[in-house]
Amino acid sequence: MTHLDFVIKVGGGAITNKKIIETPQSDVMHTVASVLAKCYEAGLHFIILHGAGSFGHHQCKDYKVNEGFRNCSSSDVAQQRKIGAALGRASVTKLGVIFTNELIKCGIPALMVSTFSTWQTDNGQVCKYDCGLIEQALIDNFVPVLSGDVVFDVTKGCSVLSSDVLMKKLCERFLVKRAIFVMNCSGIFSKPPEEPGATLLREVQVDENGGISARLQTDSTVPDVTGGISAKIELGAQIIARHSGQIPVLYCSPDHYTLYRICVLDSTEGIDVTKLVYKPRLTELESSSTKTGVL
């Protein structure tokens, strides 16, 4: 299996303004690209994922793309879903070109790998994917770039596959040293960070079943057809649980200092970040032994 220093998912909320359709955050893209260029120069091996943000979510939500075009109430509804799928794909591809061009400008031989062409779902769950192009790109020292996208679905016709799910699957397919989620804030907060009283959760414990120790209040006011922050935490927890904490999962902001320390130096010292930590629950026998002092 191919070894990777990290897989990084750059959130759509970080590189776009999710409240204004098809609005990139060019300064953030440049910051991320410049740090990843340092990683490439240092000889690190990695895959880049990115969310859709305001490119794709609006169209997919308006046209209910995630419900698919099969078993619709009428042929007109089915046709509208297909139009929505096409619009969503075109939009997220547009963002992919913008972001990949920024990576290339910073000196990274970044290659866009189409999620649509190589992944398939069945009722929203990944049932088939091909990492052959990714493997070849890594062998030849390119940097693969994938995004969340509309894909064909066996049951529904089409569905929206998030880059968070890609992260989980790639952590299963490759030997990944760490998984990094770049957000539009410093990490996971107890509630939306702009709200009074919100606090950064520097550590969130995950048990062997993927359950987390924190209760979170999330924001549902922006279009996100892939589950928003709740899905990102859930999928991160699944990575922790599946690999028994052997793949650290980090959530951080896109500022240069933070990204440099995490990506280049492999350090979280002195920065604001949320780290998922593996802490399996005691079995009944272990709990009894602990209480009686017997190990």
The whole-chain average pLDDT of the chain stands at 91
pLDDT at 281 (0 to 100)? 85
Give CA–CA dist 60/23, Å, rounded: 16
pTM: predicted TM-score of the whole model, two decimal places: 0.91
Report CA-CA distances (Å) from 26 to 23, 101, 142, 201.
9, 11, 23, 28
pLDDT at 225: 52
What's the confidence (pLDDT) of residue 18?
86
Across the chain, the runs of DSSP E, i.e. the strands, are 3-4, 6-10, 46-50, 110-112, 119-122, 125-129, 143-147, 149-153, 157-161, 175-176, 179-182, 203-206, 249-252, 274-278
SS (H, E, C) 237-253: HHHHHHCCCCCCEEEEC
Residues of the chain with pLDDT under 50: 221, 224, 226, 284-285, 287, 290-295
pLDDT value, residue 218: 58
pLDDT, position 295: 41
Task: Quote the pLDDT of residue 115.
Answer: 96
- Tell me which DSSP letter residue 199 carries: -
Q: Around Cβ 22, how many Cβ atoms within 10 Å?
A: 16
- Condensed to tens digits (0 to 9), the pLDDT of residues 36-91 reads 999 999 999 999 999 999 999 899 999 999 999 999 999 999 999 999 999 999 99
